[in-house]
């Protein structure tokens, strides 16, 4: 009797254990279809040229800022020297143009001073003309009365005629002086237009500076450095290999960006919420499960049926009417901590268990 009771107890415990596991399976979605993912940075040089320094090896770990490879800098050093020479020449040219502007300003001031001087002389000449005319008129009136002589009349007339000639000369001088002012203004405007904006805003100077900075940056771009901590992969470069600007030359796996994509059946996705706790077990480290949580759930997958096929007709896969396979929806799992012993590799397989109802959002709703 005791033997039967013991056997029955063992069977009962086994049944309870199986039921608990089955209930856990029904409650907590689980899949073996999980993959390790990470951001893979494509390293592309900014300039073209042959490689003269390659200090890295395939699958090597590098830190952000480490040199990956160096492009021959000689061409870019020459370009920088040429840009520097052009910048210096532009500076000398601008300095010369500034002096021309100053000279044109001085000429304009001198021309304006001549105009003012001529105007002042004209005032004196006009005053003298007025005086001489009055004297001449007076002498002509006095001559019939015998109060003056013909000699005095002739003298007054001569003075008056001289004043008239001086006025005519002064008018001509003023016109010439004004013409000189206009020429000086035109010369100043031309000098300013040739110079452009003064100071650091000068277009010629900014263009030369931009060319110099571009040449300086291109020289710096000959050293290609790691943007993140990671592992070098797909390294096919060799000394002398010619790399092309903006064309990927190698890949770098960012070690700080690992996540897990768990592909769950669509029948399970409705129970999963962002924030739910998760357990990830890599296939290569089956005895070292890692903790994480659901970061997000995918909103779409690619559809095969209906895609364009031969002769632009829809491409439909044949299916059995009595079988309906559930689609797999990607669920992104954020890893809270990765043990030092676990070496994650992009594309590696793992199992993912999501503990539903464990998100912080659910706890907040209960509170």
Give the residue, 367 or 208, on which the prediction is more confident.
Answer: 208
Query: Over 60: is that where the pLDDT of 101 sits?
Result: yes
3-state helix, strand, coil in the chain (%, to 5): 50, 20, 30
Q: Predicted confidence band at 366 (pLDDT cuts at 50, 70, 90)?
A: very low
Residue 306 pLDDT: 66
Closest to 257 (Cα-Cα) out of 105, 12, 38: 38
**What's this model's pTM, rounded to 2 decimal places?**
0.70
Instruction: For the domain covering 76-216, report its CATH number.
Output: 1.10.287.620
CATH class of 28-39+255-366: mainly beta
Q: Where in the chain is the domain with CATH 2.40.30.170?
A: 28-39+255-366
Task: Of 168, 186, 180, 169, give the one whose Cα is nearest residue 115.
Answer: 180
The number of CA neighbours under 13 Å toward the Cβ of 345 is 10
pLDDT of residue 17: 64
Please tell me the predicted confidence (pLDDT) of residue 44. 95
What is the average per-residue pLDDT within 108-136? 82
Q: Is the pLDDT of residue 18 over 80?
A: no
DSSP 113-165: HHHHHHHHHHHHHHHHHHHHHHHHHHHHHHTTTTSS-HHHHHHHHHHHHHHHH
Q: What is the pLDDT of residue 152?
A: 80
Structure tokens at 197: 């904006």
Q: What is the three-class DSSP state of 173?
A: helix
pLDDT top residue among 30 and 26: 30
Architecture of the domain spanning 45-72+222-247:
Beta Barrel (2.40)
- Predicted confidence at residue 331, as pLDDT, reads 96
> Where are the CATH 1.10.287.620 domain residues in the chain?
76-216
Supply the pLDDT for residue 367.
43
pLDDT band at 98 (very low <50, low <70, confident <90, very high): confident
Q: Rounded CA gap, 44 and 226, in Å?
A: 11
Q: What is the pLDDT of residues 64-89, one digit of tens each?
A: 999 999 999 999 999 999 999 999 99
Check pLDDT > 50 for residue 364: no
The whole-chain average pLDDT of the chain stands at 85
The encoded tokens of residue 103 equal 């000279």
| Ranges for all domains in the chain classified under CATH 2.40.50.100 | 45-72+222-247
Q: What is the pLDDT of residues 166-217, one digit of tens each?
A: 888 888 888 888 888 888 888 888 887 887 777 778 888 889 999 999 999 9
Residue 257 has pLDDT above 80, yes or no: yes
Dihedral of the alpha carbons of 110, 111, 112, 118, in degrees to the nearest 10: 110
Q: What is the mean pLDDT of residues 223-240?
A: 94
Q: What average pLDDT score do residues 133-161 get? A: 78
- Residue 365: predicted pLDDT: 47
* pLDDT per position as a tens digit, 303-322: 776 677 777 777 777 665 55
- Cα torsion angle, 244, 245, 247, 248, sign: positive
């Amino acid at each position: 009797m005791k033997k039967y009771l013991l056997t029955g107890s063992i069977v009962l415990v086994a049944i309870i254990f199986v039921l608990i596991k089955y209930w856990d399976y029904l409650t907590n979605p689980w899949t073996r279809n999980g993959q390790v993912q990470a951001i893979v940075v494509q390293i592309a040089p900014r300039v073209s040229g042959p490689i003269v320094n390659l200090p890295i090896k395939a699958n090597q770990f590098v830190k952000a800022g480490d040199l990956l490879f160096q492009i021959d800098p000689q061409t870019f050093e020459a370009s920088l020297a040429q840009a520097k020479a052009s910048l210096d020449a532009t500076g000398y040219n601008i300095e010369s143009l500034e002096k021309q502007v100053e000279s044109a300003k001085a000429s304009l001031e001198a021309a304006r001073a001549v105009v003012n001087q001529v105007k002042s002389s004209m005032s004196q000449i006009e005053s003298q003309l007025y005086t001489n005319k009055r004297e001449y008129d007076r002498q002509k009136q006095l001559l019939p009365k015998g109060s003056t002589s013909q000699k005095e009349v002739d003298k007054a007339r001569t003075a008056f005629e001289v004043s008239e000639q001086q006025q005519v000369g002064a008018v001509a001088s003023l016109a010439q002086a004004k013409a000189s002012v206009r020429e000086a203004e035109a010369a100043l405007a031309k000098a300013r237009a040739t110079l452009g904006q003064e100071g650091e805003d000068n277009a010629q100077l900014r263009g030369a500076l931009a060319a110099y900075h571009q040449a300086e940056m291109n020289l710096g771009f000959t050293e290609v450095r790691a943007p993140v901590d990671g592992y070098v992969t797909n390294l096919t470069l060799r000394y002398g290999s010619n790399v092309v600007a903006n064309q990927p030359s190698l890949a770098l796996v960012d070690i700080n960006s690992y996540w897990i994509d768990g592909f769950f059946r669509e029948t399970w996705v409705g129970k999963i919420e962002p924030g739910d706790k998760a357990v990830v077990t890599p296939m290569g480290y089956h005895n070292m499960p890692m903790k994480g949580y659901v970061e997000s759930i995918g909103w779409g997958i690619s559809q095969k049926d209906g895609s364009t096929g031969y002769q632009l007709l829809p491409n439909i896969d044949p299916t059995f009417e009595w079988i309906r396979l559930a689609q797999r929806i990607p669920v992104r799992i954020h890893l809270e901590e990765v043990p030092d012993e676990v070496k994650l590799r992009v594309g590696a397989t793992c199992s993912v268990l999501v503990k539903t109802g464990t998100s912080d959002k659910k706890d907040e709703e209960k509170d």
